[in-house]
Amino acid sequence: MLFPTRSSAYARVSQTASQPSVHEAFRWLHLNQQQMLQWQAEMLAIPAPPFGEGPRAGWLEEQFRKARLEQVQMDEVGNVLGLLPATHPGELPREHPPCVLLSAHIDTVFPEGTPSAPVVSGTRIECPGACDNAAGVVALLGLSYALRICEVPLSCDIVFAGNVGEEGEGDLRGIRRIYSHFPWATSIRSHLVLDGAGHDNAISQALGSLRFQVTIYGPGGHSFTDAGTPNPIIALACAIRNFTQTPLPAAPRTTLNIGNIAGGTSVNSIPESATASFDLRSTDPDQLTMLEASLHRAIEDAVSTQNLGADAHRSRGPLDYSIQKIGDRPAASLAADAPILEALRAVDRHLGIPHTPEDFLHLGSTDANIPLSLGIPAVSIGAGGEGGAAHTRGEWYDAARREIGLRRILLFLLSLVEQAATAIE
């Protein structure tokens, strides 16, 4: 099946946009901006720290039911899903028919105990997580209402998902579970991720990352009487020094970072342990593999050197170590001429949103990493509006320009629905 050319993709988007039901959906989104801001404030008042998204998931499950989505459920990890079924499925398979997945992560980067008291002033809302990703979740909810109430024709199912585990050590666990545990996951034809603000952005290149927690431990002791016992902090410092001297290629872009270090009890104690977290990133999986091997060598060599240099008469024992993988986000990418990107370009052309060819080849680490690594077309885009100070307590979102972003999502989503249904014919 040949997908539409650039010109026919634009023609199809224009035809879709001219449908009365789509105009009604646009109108619903326009008239309900205040309602969406209210949803945003309600949701933000419910903290959702990593691995603590349950209360917010419960709120979203209730909202999905109010939106009258079908088969609403919360899975074992806290993902909330609902179905908007095809209105004219035609000859689509009856069991696990093709679908498009529309998702937005409900978790925040902020730890448990972070104050979450949204302040609304006009179209602006200030609160940790206001932009990343309350904006995306509210867009998800608004689209579910607009499509159903305005009876927009759908030629295949749309699955709505508010997922957990996108931020930090969540390691994309929510989206991973959807693709690994749900029987209909093999029927997903494309995946649209809503993440943050903006109406002209798109991430189609998945930045890969490996994250490790390294702990070096030993018997510890008194700084004077047990001098000669190997010191975990010194070993860890040597390992970090050696590892950070690893040559990195300019292309593909590859980076390494040590995010935190901890260990020791007092200035006059040889510590019993020292811990550090390492973040390795690249657009190339092979580079990540090489960096992982380099990290293991650096740790092993540093521990061995400290043990060999220990005072055999005074040492209370040798050092040992553990290297625990705490994150693994696969690298992947879409081709520049992928049909899903052609559809998005056509939507932007219709809406008068300017862009360059490079605008749709942006790099990022999002929930789209998982479907892209599985060969499923996926893009992460903003949910409209403007935002700033993400991942800080001063985070803010302004909904003044949310509407153009919602129109973009709606038309793009309907284009993906058409592609999914047409590919079966």
Question: Cα(44)–Cα(130) distance, rounded to whole angstroms?
Answer: 7
- Residues 182-194: tens digit of each pLDDT: 989 999 999 999 9
Comparison of pLDDT for 8 and 133, the residue scoring more: 133
Number of structural domains found in the chain = 2
Check residue 89 and give its pLDDT: 64
Per-residue tokens: 51: 């691995």
Residue 192 sits in the same domain as residue 288: no
Q: What is the pLDDT of residue 1?
A: 34
pLDDT band at 234 (very low <50, low <70, confident <90, very high): very high
Let me know if 325 is exposed, middle or buried by CB neighbors in 10 A (0-12, 13-18, 19+). exposed
| Domain presence at residue 73 | yes
Last residue of a domain, one of 298, 329, 360: 329
Which pLDDT value is given to residue 4?
46
Query: Tell me, what's the pLDDT at 93?
Result: 58
* 48 within 8 A of 131, measured Cβ to Cβ: no
End position of a domain, from candidates 329, 344, 368: 329
Residues 234, 178 share a domain? no
Q: What is the CATH number of the domain that holds 179?
A: 3.40.630.10
**Segment 85-117, tens digit of pLDDT:** 999 766 655 667 899 999 999 999 999 999 999
Mean pLDDT confidence for 205-226:
96
Q: How many degrees, rounded to 5, is the angle at CA 95 between CA 94 and CA 99?
A: 85
pLDDT at 140 over 90: yes
Residue 2 pLDDT > 50, yes or no?
Answer: no
Q: Write out pLDDT tens, residues 246-272.
A: 999 989 999 999 999 999 999 999 999
408/282 same-domain check: no
Do 193 and 263 fall within a single domain?
no
If asked whether residues 10 and 153 sit together in one domain, one would say yes
268: containing domain = 208-329
Looking at residue 88, its pLDDT comes to 74
Does one domain contain both 291 and 248? yes
Cα(372)–Cα(400) distance, integer angstroms: 32
- State whether 116 and 242 are in the same domain: no
